[in-house]
Structure 1
């Protein structure tokens, strides 16, 4: 199965998602989106394919979200997208794309909705165990 992960190696959820992909036998194409941000068309597609709005896909914690006024009720989706393109740290992560769909994998085990089933337990960085579904 082919997969692409929009990854931030400094993020524990993103690292867990990448490790989980590898645990189920997928070696994904890794895009460090802070180094190589998606263009507007790709970003819009990722967000829509994941069933989200730009506001739902925006990261607030550890970003300039508040100082840019993005939480104000009158801010449009286009303004949020413009801010994400100007400041890629505002793009929540990790997005994963496979033939089975696109997901914003927060928490990391959401990736299992679009991968082959988990065959053996997976241990996250914090020690949490994700068990295969019965």
Structure 2
């Protein structure tokens, strides 16, 4: 099984999720450090759609100015454009496999798609 993780190596939850993926037999992991290589607004829209969540639910509030900018109440296109332009606004880690997408907070949520 292939798995892609949108990863921030400075984040403990992201590191723990990556470790679960690497330790799971048969999983081929692709790591995207999203702060250096941000996903497009279109890719983010697909990820959130496949995860069954709104872009607003995928906003990182802690340590960002998302609330001050009104992003939690903004429309999807505005939120996705902001995330693509400023990837620090993306809550992490997102993991995609053939079985779906999860925002892996807590990291054990990754088991749902393995």
* Distance apart, 1:69 and its partner CA: 2.5
CA contact (8 A) 2:41 2:83 kept: no
Distance 1:67 1:87 in 2: 15
Instruction: Write the deviation string for residues 45-81 of structure 1: whole angstroms up to 9, x where unpaired.
Output: 011101110110111001121232224x4x2121111
Instruction: Return the TM-score normalized by structure 1.
Output: 0.80
Q: After the TM superposition, which segments of 4 or more aligned residues of structure 1 sit over 4 Å from their partners? A: none
Larger Rg: 1
> 2:32 aligned with 1:31, yes or no?
yes
Q: Name the residue aligned to 2:107.
A: 108
Q: How does 1:1-134 map to 2 (within 5 A)?
A: 1-25=1-25, 26-71=27-72, 73=73, 75-115=74-114
Q: Which has the higher helix share?
A: 2
For the aligned residues, what is the CA RMSD?
A: 1.1
Distance 1:113 1:55 in 2: 22
Q: What runs of 5+ residues in structure 2 fail to find an aligned partner?
A: none
Q: Number of residue pairs matched?
A: 113
